[in-house]
Amino acid sequence: FYKGGEYVNFVEALAQRRAAECFATDKNPNAPIKVSADEISVNVQPLSGAAANNSVYEAFVEPGDTVMGMALAHGGHLTHGSQFNRSGRRYNIVSYQVDRVTEKLDYEIIKRLAIQHKPKMIIAGYTSYPWAPDWQKFRKIADSVGAILFADIAHPAGLVIAGQYPSPVGYADVITLTTHKTLCGPRGAVILSTDEEKAQRIDNAVFPGEQGGPHVNKFAAMAVAFKIARTAKFKKLQEKIVENAKVLASSLKRRGLRIAYGGTNTHLLVIDLRAMESRAGFSLKGEIAARILDLCGLVVNKNTIPGDETAADASGIRLGTPWITQRGLGKEEMEKLAELIHRVLTRIQPFSYIGLNGDLPRGKIDLETLEEVKQEVAELAGRAKAETFAPDREAKLGYPDYHSSAKPYLKETSLLAMHRKLGARLVETNGWRMPLHYQNFAQELKAVRKTAVIFDLGDMGLLKVSGERAKPLLQGVSTNNLAKLKPGEVLPSFLLDGRAQLIDEVSILYLDSDNRGRDHYLIVTNRSRTEKVKSWLGGLSDGYITFDKDDIFAKIEGPVVVEDLGESIEEGAGRMGIGLCGPNSSRIISKIDSSLANLKRFYFRQGKIGDIEGIISRIGYSKDPSGFEFYIHPNDAVKLWNLLLRQGKEFGIKPAGLQVRNQVRSEAGIPSNEETEFISDGVSLYKTHPFYFDLSKPYFIGQKIINKVLESWAVKKEEFQYREEKRKVRQTPLHQEHLKLGASFVTFAGWKMPLCYIGISEEHQAVREAAGLFDVTHMGVIEIAGEHAASLLGMVSTNYVRWLKDGQSHYAYLLAPDGNILDDVMIYRRGWDKYMMVVNAVNEKKIWAWLNAVNSKKFFIDQNYPNKEVEGKALLKNLKSSSSGKDQKADLAVQGPNSPAILQKLAKEPELKRKLARIAKNEFIETELAGIEMIISRSGYTGETIGYELYLHPENAAFIWDLLLKEGKQFGIKPAGLGARDSTRLEAGLPLYGHELAGKHGITPTEAGYGAFVKLHKPYFIGKKRLVERQAHRKMEIIRFKMKSKGIKMAKSEDPIVDERGQYIGRVTSCALVEGIQLGMAYVDKTFAQEGRKISIFMLARGGKISPEPSKDKLTRGDKVLLHQEAVVLSRFAEEKSKPVA
C-alpha cells in the first residue's frame, strides 16, 4: 500500500526479529518447551494493548461467539469481555473469577466453565491479578474444548523475557504484550504466534483490519527496547522489580493494610481498602485514595477487586514497581514508600454525598499530612536516579508545580547587588537572603518616622487567584467581606485555619473581572507564610483537605488558579514588591506622578510608575496612610529602586532593612511574620483588629469558633413569622378560555383552577402519547438580580447556584432556620447577575416575604448565630405582580412527546427552529415565538422527557393558549387540568409540597428521594445544620405504590399502611387513578421501601366518620370490619420518567 518504505520495512523487520529473540525459549535450559526465534511470528504494528487484543478477536472469533476471560473486578482487562468494551458487547462472554477463600485461580472451576460453555477462545492474562498463571493447565483446558488459547501478557512481558514470569510461548496459540510496562519501552504492543497460518490471520486483522499506515517512530523505539531487554542489566532490573513488589507488599501488610489476593510474586500489588476502618462509617474508595496520593506525588491507579460491582466504585488501588525500580529505588525506599502510603490512607477521612444515581464517594486529609508527605516524596524522588541534570531539577516549573525541589534553596531578590553596593548587612531568613539593615538601624528607624525609607519586599508573597469562583473561594477563607470590594480596592484580612489559628495576615487586591466571568485577585502575603498560604488556597481549591472538624461535607468553593507571581515562568508575569514608607512618601511619589500621591488608603492603581509598568498600592504598615507598595516585574526592580532613591534624596529617604520592617509592623499591631513568633488565635485578633473581620458573613473558615467565644456579642434580630392571610379565590388570566372549553373547576392554593376538560384519564393519556397544555399561571415568579444575586440564592437555597450557566435552571429547596422546607423551587439563570425563581402557588406570598426578610438583614437566619446575614443586598422583583410592568411573567406548560413539533410549527425562522431543537433538559432560551417575547424552558412537572414551560406576559397568555391548541391540533394536543397534572406527577414519582415534602410529617428532601438536590458541600445555607441533624436520624422514606385490585375505593392522603404481618409502617400521601389502576405515594418506614415489597392500605372513611368496630370475639351477623387492600411497592421513580437535573 505504501511505496518508498524500504527503510520502514527494515526497521520493522529489525523490531520483529529482536522481539522473537527476546521470547525464544530454546536457549533457556529451564524452559519446558523449546521454541526458537525462527519459529515465532511477530507483528509490531498495534498501537496499544487494547488495539492488539481487538485484532486477535478480529482474527479468530465472530460476533456472537463465546469467549472466556477473567472478570474485570477480579483482575481482567476491559478487552477480556467487559460490558464497557466492544468485546463485552459483541461476544458472548463467560468470565472466570478467583476463589473467594484462597483469592487465587481455581483451574478445576475454570475447566468446568469451559466444558459447560465451550468457548471458541480462552483469554489468560491479567491487569491486576498479582500471581503468575499456570500456562500448562490453561493449555489443557483449551484443548479440552478445542479453543484458541490467547495469552495476554501486556503487564509482565519484561518479566517473561528475564525469566521472572513463566513464558506462554509454546503453550498459547497467540500472545499479546505491551512494550511500555515491565518492558520499560515506548507505548506500543506486539502480537506473537508460533503458528504461521494464525500469524497470517493476525497480520490481516491488524492491517488493513484495524489500522492504517505504519507508525515507524513506535516500532523503531521498540527495536531499541528489545535490544536492551536482552542485556544482563535488564534481567537484573526485572529481578529487582519483583523483589521490590514483594517488599512493598510485605511492608504495607506489616503496617496493617490488607493486600488483595494475599500478596504478589510479580511486579504489582493491590491494596484492599474495604478492610480499612472508618470513624464515620464511610468506606474509602480507590478513586479518592488515588487522587489524594497523587496530590502527595504518589501516582497509583484505582482498581476493582473481587466483590466490587462496578469499576466506578472500585475498592482497591494498584501499585506497580517497574518505574521506581528503574529509578534505582530498593528495599529501604520500599519501606519508606509503604510508610508514606500507610500514613496517607489512614489519615484520609472518607465520606459520601447523595448523587442522582447513588452515593458519590469523597475523602479529605489534613493539610499538614498532605504537605509533609509531599515533601518526603520529593526528598525520596530527589535521591532517585533521573535523566535530568541537577541544576535543571531546581528550575522553576510554574503553576501548579511549585514544589519541584526536594531541597530548599536560598532565594535572592533582584535587588541583591544594590544591597551589597549600599553596604547592607545580609542575613538568611525564611529561605531568603535579605538586608537586615544598612549603615545604622537607629537612623533607618528615625527616617521611617520622620522622612521616608525604601524597603525591598522581594521576599513577600504575591499570589494571583483567578477563576469564576475566585470571589466565593476568597470569601470563604478570609475573615473580611469581599462582597463590598470593587476593582481598584484593597481589603486587609486574616486567613484562619479550622481551629481559628492565624495562617497569615494578607492584603487582597481586586484586580478585575474579565469577559469570561473570571475574577482576578492579588493576595499579598508575609514572607514566612507564603508557602503555607499557597498550599492552603491550593488545597482548598482542589477540595481534598479538611478545614472543619464538625462538617466533613463542607467544601470551600473552587476550583481556582493560585499562581505564585514570584515563581511564574510565564513571560512578563513575574512580580516582586518594593515598599515606600514614612511621612514624606507622598511628596516623593508626587515628583514621579502627582496623580499617584492622591491614592487613598486601601486603593491601588494599575499602570505606569514613571515608565515602569506595575501596580502601586496605598496600604501602609500603620494607621497613618503614609506608605506605598509597588508590585513590578523583577527586571524593573533596580530601575524603580534607583528612581525612588533619586527622587527622594531631597526628602531624606534611606534604604531600610528587615529590622525596621518588623519594628513598623510591630508598632502597628500587625501579627509578626516570623516563624518563631507566637501565632495569634482568631478571637484575640478580632479584639485587636475588628476592622479585619466581618462576623455577619454567612461563613468563613474559623468563624464558628470565634462566634462561639463571642456569643454574648451576638446581634439581636427578629424571628421571621409568616401568617397566612385569608384571601379571595383568584382567577387565572386564562379563566375565560377554560369556560369556553367546558372545564370543571376546583379551588387550589387560593386559585380557581381547571380540574379537567374532557376527563382526567384522557388528558393524562394525551400528555403521555401526544401533548397536554396546562395553565400554570398561578405559580409564583420572582426575579433576584444584582451583583449579590448569586450569593443570596446560595444562602437561601440548597442547590449550588454557581453551577448554573446562562440559560440553565435547576431544582432546589428553600429552608427555614429550623431546617423545615419552606418550598421547592426552580431557579433559572438569565445572566450572571439575573435569576428567576418559580415557586409553588400555595407558598408564593410566603416565599416573597421570606426573600425580602433575608435580604433586609433585619431577621435572623441562623438559630445559633443571629448575627449572620447576606453578604450584600440583591434586587428583588415579584414578576407575578402587575407592578413589574412589561417584565411580568406567567407560566404555560406544554408537555408530551409531540410538544417539540408543536413549538416548531409556531417558529417561522430557521434559526429559532434550530434553537428550539437544541434546548437540553432544564435549559431555556429567551426569544420571540409567534411575535410574543417569552422564556421557553425545557422543564415541567409531569415526568415527561420532553416538555416545555413558556414564561410570558399574562396579557399574552390567552393568545398563546389558543394558538397552541389550534396549531397543535394535528399533533393531538389537549388542554389538561390539575387532575392530569397530579396523575402524571404521581406516575413519575414527583413530590408535591405539603404531601411528599414538608407537610404534617415534616418530610425532608432525602426522605422524598431528592437528597441529591441538597448540596452538603456548601459550607453554609440557611437551615443546613438542622436539616443534617434530622437526616442523621431519619427512619422514613417516600415510596411509590400500585394497588393490586381495580374498582376499589380510592386511597387518600393519611390512609394508614401496614406490612404483610399487619404492622403499621406509614401513611399514604397522594393517590390517583392511572389507566384504571390506583398509583400513589406514601411515607413509610424505610426498611419497607424495596421495590416489589407487598403492603396493605386501609381506606378510611372521609369527613371524620370512622365507625367504631366491635371486638373480633364480639362479632355478630350484620357487623362490619374495615379490611385492607393489597398494594405493591414500585421503583421510586418511573423508569422512563426522570427527576430534574441536579
Residues 645-656: tens digit of each pLDDT: 999 999 999 999
Q: What is the mean pLDDT of residues 316-322?
A: 97
The H or E element that residue 771 is part of is strand 771-775
Distance CA 125, CA 712 (A): 69
DSSP 716: P
326 neighbors 282 (Cβ within 8 angstroms) = no
Distance CA 781, CA 892 (A): 12
Q: What is the pLDDT of residues 594-633, one digit of tens each?
A: 888 888 989 999 999 989 999 999 976 555 567 899 999 9
Kindly tell me if the per-residue pLDDT of 1138 is higher than 50. no
Distance CA 861, CA 1022 (A): 6
Domain segments of the chain as ranges:
6-230, 234-383, 416-658, 780-887, 986-1003+1035-1130
Q: What pLDDT band is residue 565 in, cutting at 50, 70 and 90? A: very high
Distance CA 530, CA 463 (A): 8
Amino acid present at 1074? V
Q: What is the mean pLDDT of residues 585-590?
A: 93
Q: What is the pLDDT of residues 123-146, one digit of tens each?
A: 999 999 999 999 999 999 999 999
377 neighbors 298 (Cβ within 8 angstroms) = yes
Going by DSSP bridges, is the β-strand pair 66-70/92-96 parallel, antiparallel, or unpaired?
A: parallel
Q: Residue-wise over 597-623: b if at least 16 C-beta within 10 A, else e? A: bebeebbbbbeebbebebbbbbbbbbe
Q: What pLDDT band is residue 35 in, cutting at 50, 70 and 90? A: very high
Distance CA 637, CA 622 (A): 24
Distance CA 188, CA 366 (A): 40
Kindly tell me if the per-residue pLDDT of 550 is higher than 50. yes
Kindly tell me if the per-residue pLDDT of 398 is higher than 70. no
Average pLDDT of every residue of the chain: 92
Separation of CA 201 from chain center: 46
Stronger pLDDT, 301 or 727, i.e. the higher one? 301
Q: What pLDDT band is residue 391 in, cutting at 50, 70 and 90? A: very low
pLDDT at res. 675:
46
The H or E element that residue 1028 is part of is helix 1024-1031
The H or E element that residue 685 is part of is helix 682-688
Q: What is the pLDDT of residues 596-606, one digit of tens each?
A: 888 898 999 99
**Closest residue by Cα to residue 856 from 718, 971, 998:** 718
Q: What is the pLDDT of residues 440-463, one digit of tens each?
A: 899 999 999 999 999 999 999 999
Q: What is the mean pLDDT of residues 561-583?
A: 91
pLDDT at res. 626:
72
Kindly tell me if the per-residue pLDDT of 677 is higher than 90. no
Could you write out the DSSP letters of every residue in 505-520? Answer: EEEEEEEEE-TTS-EE
Positive/negative CA dihedral, 201, 202, 203, 204: positive
**Closest residue by Cα to residue 219 from 62, 343, 45, 476:** 45
pLDDT at res. 530:
93
Range with lowest mean pLDDT among 230-239, 379-388, 821-830: 379-388
Peptide bond into 119 cis (omega under 30): no
Name the one residue in this structure whose C-alpha cell is 526485572. 238
Q: Residue-wise over 54-82: b if at least 16 C-beta within 10 A, else e? A: bbbbbbbbeeeebbbbbbbbbbbbbbbbb
pLDDT at res. 1112:
84
Alpha helices by DSSP H, 734-858: 735-740, 760-769, 789-796, 844-856
- As a CATH number, domain 416-658 is 3.30.1360.120
Distance CA 1059, CA 1093 (A): 9
* Other residues' Cβ atoms within 10 Å of the Cβ of residue 420: 11
* Other residues' Cβ atoms within 10 Å of the Cβ of residue 144: 12
Peptide bond into 559 cis (omega under 30): yes
**Closest residue by Cα to residue 43 from 156, 197, 193:** 193
19 neighbors 222 (Cβ within 8 angstroms) = yes
CATH of 6-230, one of 3.40.50.10440, 3.40.50.970, 3.40.640.10, 3.30.540.10: 3.40.640.10
Going by DSSP bridges, is the β-strand pair 576-581/258-259 parallel, antiparallel, or unpaired?
A: unpaired
Kindly tell me if the per-residue pLDDT of 779 is higher than 80. yes
At 25, give phi and psi (nearest 5°). Answer: -115, 0
pLDDT at res. 1139:
46
192 neighbors 23 (Cβ within 8 angstroms) = yes
119 neighbors 147 (Cβ within 8 angstroms) = yes
Tallying the residues shown for the chain, one arrives at: 1142
**Closest residue by Cα to residue 114 from 98, 132, 134, 94:** 94
pLDDT at res. 91:
94
Q: What is the mean pLDDT of residues 58-79?
A: 94
Angle of helix 331-347 relative to helix 367-383, nearest 10 degrees, comes to: 170
Kindly tell me if the per-residue pLDDT of 807 is higher than 60. yes
Q: What pLDDT band is residue 708 in, cutting at 50, 70 and 90? A: confident
780 neighbors 848 (Cβ within 8 angstroms) = yes
Q: Which CATH architecture has domain 780-887?
A: 2-Layer Sandwich (3.30)
Q: What is the mean pLDDT of residues 744-748?
A: 96
Q: What is the pLDDT of residues 715-739, one digit of tens each?
A: 788 899 998 888 889 999 999 999 9
pLDDT at res. 405:
54
**Dihedral angle at the C-alpha atoms of 925, 926, 927, 932, nearest 10 degrees?**
130
* 189-193 β-sheet, strand order: 41-43, 189-193, 174-178, 148-152, 121-124, 66-70, 92-96
Give the 3-state secondary structure of residue 205.
helix
Distance CA 114, CA 119 (A): 6
Task: Tell me the three cell numbers of residue 185.
Answer: 519501552
Give the 3-state secondary structure of residue 156.
coil
- As a CATH number, domain 234-383 is 3.90.1150.10
529 neighbors 507 (Cβ within 8 angstroms) = no
Give the 3-state secondary structure of residue 969.
helix
DSSP 209: I
In Å, how far are 185, 459, 877, 888, 926 from 883, measured between CA atoms? 73, 58, 9, 8, 22
Kindly tell me if the per-residue pLDDT of 1120 is higher than 50. yes
* Helices and strands per DSSP (H, E), number in the chain: 32, 47
Determine what percent of the chain is predicted with pLDDT higher than 90: 81
232: left (phi over 0), alpha (psi -120 to 50) or beta: alpha
Q: What pLDDT band is residue 673 in, cutting at 50, 70 and 90? A: low
The H or E element that residue 379 is part of is helix 367-383
Asked if the 986-1003+1035-1130 domain carries CATH number 2.40.30.110, the reply is yes
Task: Tell me the three cell numbers of residue 379.
Answer: 526528598
Bridge partner residues of 604 (DSSP): 617
Q: What is the mean pLDDT of residues 702-725?
A: 83
238 neighbors 161 (Cβ within 8 angstroms) = yes
**Closest residue by Cα to residue 305 from 268, 278, 277, 272:** 272
Q: What pLDDT band is residue 286 in, cutting at 50, 70 and 90? A: very high
Separation of CA 135 from chain center: 44
Could you write out the DSSP letters of every residue in 981-993? Answer: HHHHHHHHT---B
Give the 3-state secondary structure of residue 331.
helix
What does pTM read for this prediction?
0.91
Kindly tell me if the per-residue pLDDT of 674 is higher than 60. no
DSSP 864: S
